[in-house]
Structure 1
Amino acid sequence: MAAPSFVLWLHGRGDSGPANEHISTYFSSPEFKNTRWSFPSAPHMPVTCNYGIVMPSWFDVYELPISAESPKDEKGVLKAVENVHAMIDKEVAAGTNSQNIFVCGFSQGGALALASVLLYPKTLGGGAIFSGFLPFNSSIVEQISPEAKKTPILWCHGTDDDRVPVTAGQAGHQFLEQAGMNCEFKAYPDLGHSINPEEFQSFDSWMKNHLKNST
């Protein structure tokens, strides 16, 4: 019998949680029979790269395209991470094994998913990043616990992404490998700043491989 599992999906800047709920329909295998999905929405705030327009955003983004060298709103990221950790803690308190909890996201949501996994004190089932980026400076490595380093990462990125170029994804992958983490990086030729069905197939297989059986 499949153990209860939990997938937290974090949307990109300007999007909403409900607009992403269809993603769960890609995962209809028996392994996901007891999987609960959550699609929270980001708070509304002024976003610098959008001329200060107020929109759903997990933290501020200063420039587009986003590169590994782009300035980072670390204070805003840490505040958003606290909220994600509260959602994870609630699920753990309800009885879900932390190693069956997956934190995932697209673009800015992928960056927040990554930050949340790196700073969570326990080993999680995994973190899946789609077209994301590392929202911290490299000094964050000192705050990653030995338990967090055991959390596997899947990173999917299109080679034709003009908002978060694949080089930003590759820099994130390199950072994770240097930190001693297991990161599977998949580049998708001709894919822009979006997710395609092939990426969901990879995500499906990867998540099945990391689900823990009920004990």
Structure 2
Amino acid sequence: MINSKNVIPIVGIHGWKGNRESFRLIADLFKLENAEWIIPQAPYKVKENQYTWAKEIEEGRYEVRDSIQYLNHFFNDEVLKKYDPTDVHVIGFSQGAATCYEFVLKMPFQFAGVYPIAGFLRDFKSGRPILHEKQRKTPIFIGHGISDEIVPVESSKTIFEMLKKESKKVEIILYNGGHKISMSYIKTIKNYILNT
């Protein structure tokens, strides 16, 4: 296991119809010289070079078993064998942010930070906790553009209110713009990552 603080392990989870390479474009925006970006690719193929973490099997019902199995393998075998979870940062955009809420924050250990951007929950009404009890100290920085027409900003505001009931380490950063990642958000979380 690498314990050197010189290397910053960051998992980047792409959104709907994205892929490993599309997230590398986001990673490049951070300009973190010492980062090791570890980027999974969703298992469900939409079409050539486009993937999804949840496959709709009928209206309102999604298949996610392959994603759960893949992400368990990915984190346990490709990330956590090399790094302590308290050193690992996880960034997810759109459906990747939903994956942060629905999978990453349910894992039984604390991360260095989780950064869901322009995300959502598939089931707001489940009443189930979002966080695993061991994640209550994981810092969570939610980001969302106030003019997002694909995933309304209300989604992140609602999730923020839900998470505040489970953790004191959650913040929401709203920024001008639509369904994208703002440079102001990147600057804020880059500063946090570099100072943890």
When the two structures are superposed, what TM-score results if normalisation uses the length of structure 1? 0.76
For 2:81, the equivalent position in structure 1 comes to 93
| Contact preservation (8 Å) 2:108, 2:132 | yes
Alignment CA distance shift 1:181-1:135 (3 Å): farther
For 2:20, the equivalent position in structure 1 comes to 17
| Contact preservation (8 Å) 2:110, 2:138 | yes
| Contact preservation (8 Å) 2:43, 2:66 | no
| Contact preservation (8 Å) 1:117, 1:151 | no
When the two structures are superposed, what TM-score results if normalisation uses the length of structure 2? 0.83
Structure 1 position 20, deviation (Å):
2.1
For 1:205, the equivalent position in structure 2 comes to 191
For 1:164, the equivalent position in structure 2 comes to 151
**Higher RCO by CA contacts (8 Å cutoff, separation 6 or greater):** 1
Deviations 1:167-188 (A, max 9, x none): 0110011111012242110111
- Higher fraction of helix: 1
Gaps of 5+ in 1: 48-53, 63-69
For 1:150, the equivalent position in structure 2 comes to 137
Aligned residues: 190
Structure 1 position 88, deviation (Å):
2.1
For 1:65, the equivalent position in structure 2 comes to none
* Bigger Cα displacement from structure 2, 114-123 vs 84-93: 84-93
For 1:57, the equivalent position in structure 2 comes to 52
3-state SS, counterpart of residue 136 of structure 2: helix
For 1:42, the equivalent position in structure 2 comes to 42
- Higher fraction of strand: 2
3-state SS, counterpart of residue 134 of structure 1: coil
For 1:51, the equivalent position in structure 2 comes to none
CA RMSD of superposed structures (Å): 2.8
Deviations 1:124-159 (A, max 9, x none): 111101101123444331x74321111111111001
Confirm whether residue 8 of structure 1 aligns to residue 11 of structure 2. Answer: yes
Gaps of 5+ in 2: none
Alignment CA distance shift 1:103-1:135 (3 Å): farther
Alignment CA distance shift 1:2-1:144 (3 Å): closer
